[in-house]
Amino acid sequence: MDQIEDEHHLRTAAVHEGEPRTAIEGSITMPLFPSSTYVLGNPEEFDDIRYVRLNNTPNQKAVSEKLAALEGTEAAVVTPSGTAAVSMALLAHLEKGDHVLAQDHLYGGTRKLMDSLSERYGVDVTYVPAEEPEAWARALRATTRVFYMETITNPLLEVAPLDEAVAFSRRHGLVSVIDNTFATPVNFRPVGLGFDVVVHSASKYLNGHSDVVAGVVAASHERVKRVRKMMNLLGVCLDPHACYLLQRGLKTLPLRVPVQNANALALAKALKKHPKVAEVRYPGLPEDAAHARARRWFKGFGATVSFLPRDGVEVAERTMRELRIAREAPSLGGLETLVCRPATTSHAGLPDETRRGLGVADEMIRVSLGVENPEDIIQDFNRALGS
Ligand SMILES: *Cc1c(COP(=O)(O)O)cnc(C)c1O
């Protein structure tokens, strides 16, 4: 899988979808409309009045169209963060007393959000091991409404039996929701497997330049309408300037991701051979536990690699400090290679016991590969580990 085929013609969609068909003042690109409010037409209901908070102004609509085309859904709506995409997708489909099944290995912020929903808002959550469909069935209640998963988990980079999760959801009338941030639609389109709702942190690969915080919920017209109503109710909207930047970033998504995939595979292979590395996790390695599923469903294996240096936290810290190209920072998906220790970043909010129980070791380093030359990156890591 060296070269990603453009099977869904994503390169064409990324450039042209959501762009004005009739050029505005001859502009080839979608202009920025910062106006908060618009001349009143003939609104049929409140949500039709054009206003930024109501998520229906030109830049919000344009970028949403592009995102729906990329994910292969009927519709999409942009949110002011990935976290807002997760919370809006959940709240739009849940009521007091409802129950959520969620994969136990989740993005730290999502897990905190779910815990808070259950502690404060009367929505129960059960975390289930992704590998045990019998446990899903045992956790099922009459009130279960949503099954929530992630395509590739952070930072262990596991791939759940996604096909079984979809079948299970259908059998029991659950809305299947998946966070596709780590894969991107270039590597995997969840609606192809039958997922109902796709969420993203667009702050990562979708925007791709580490300069926007945003999210997206992509689904059928009907479901996106529900999500938009919830956003309008709670006052959740993405600013037109951020929409404009995200729209610009998306045009190169299908160019960036294959390069980042290839860099990740090259680094994973190099780390695997390094004497000071105890363990490497990357779904692209043939011996990786996630490999078989990733190969079956994905066009590429993603651009995140996690590894354990042999001699504990101090060595991990020193290695990160010694890197010259890769920078130490949380987040991922940008053009620049970043490293972080999940124990002190994405999973810092969890009690140590819970975190270790999930398999996130103190010394684990997560690498988000950028688009630099892979030889430079490998050399950077070899030198940092070796010193
Ligand atoms: C970063 C991230 C989020 C949260 O997104 P923000 O844009 O930072 O709010 C949610 N899910 C995953 C998988 C992420 O990586």
64 within ligand 1 shell (Cβ under 6 A): no
- Cis omega (within 30 of 0) for bond into 155: yes
Positions in the chain short of pLDDT 70: 1-5, 387
For residue 1, what pLDDT is reported? 42
d(CA 170, CA 12): 33
The CA 42 to ligand 1 mean position distance, Å, reads: 38
Domain with CATH 3.90.1150.10 in the chain: 254-386
Q: Classify 254-386 by CATH class.
A: alpha beta
For residue 264, what pLDDT is reported? 98
Of 204, 236, 238, 331, the one to substitute when testing ligand 1's pocket (max ligand atoms within 8 A of C-beta) is 204
Copy the structure tokens of residue 221.
Answer: 């017209």
244 is a catalytic site residue: no
For residue 60, what pLDDT is reported? 98
Q: Are 288 and 281 in contact (CB under 8 A)?
A: yes
Out of 3.30.450.20, 3.40.640.10, 3.40.50.300, 3.90.700.10, the CATH code matching 7-250 is 3.40.640.10
For residue 4, what pLDDT is reported? 58
83 within ligand 1 shell (Cβ under 6 A): yes
Ligand 1 atom at minimum distance from 86 CA: 10
Q: State the residue for tokens 């590429």.
A: 300
The CA 304 to ligand 1 mean position distance, Å, reads: 14
For residue 387, what pLDDT is reported? 57
- Half-sphere exposure in the Cβ direction for 57 (13 Å, CA): 23
53 is a catalytic site residue: yes
The CA 152 to ligand 1 mean position distance, Å, reads: 13
For residue 268, what pLDDT is reported? 98
Of 148, 181, 207, 245, the one to substitute when testing ligand 1's pocket (max ligand atoms within 8 A of C-beta) is 181
Domain with CATH 3.40.640.10 in the chain: 7-250
For residue 293, what pLDDT is reported? 97
Which distant-in-sequence residues (6+ apart) come within 8 Å of 143 by Cβ?
Answer: 97, 98, 99, 124
203 within ligand 1 shell (Cβ under 6 A): yes
The gap between the terminal CA atoms of the chain, to the nearest Å, is: 33
Residue ID of nearest Cα to ligand 1 atom 2:
201
The CA 44 to ligand 1 mean position distance, Å, reads: 35
Indicate the pTM of the whole model: 0.96
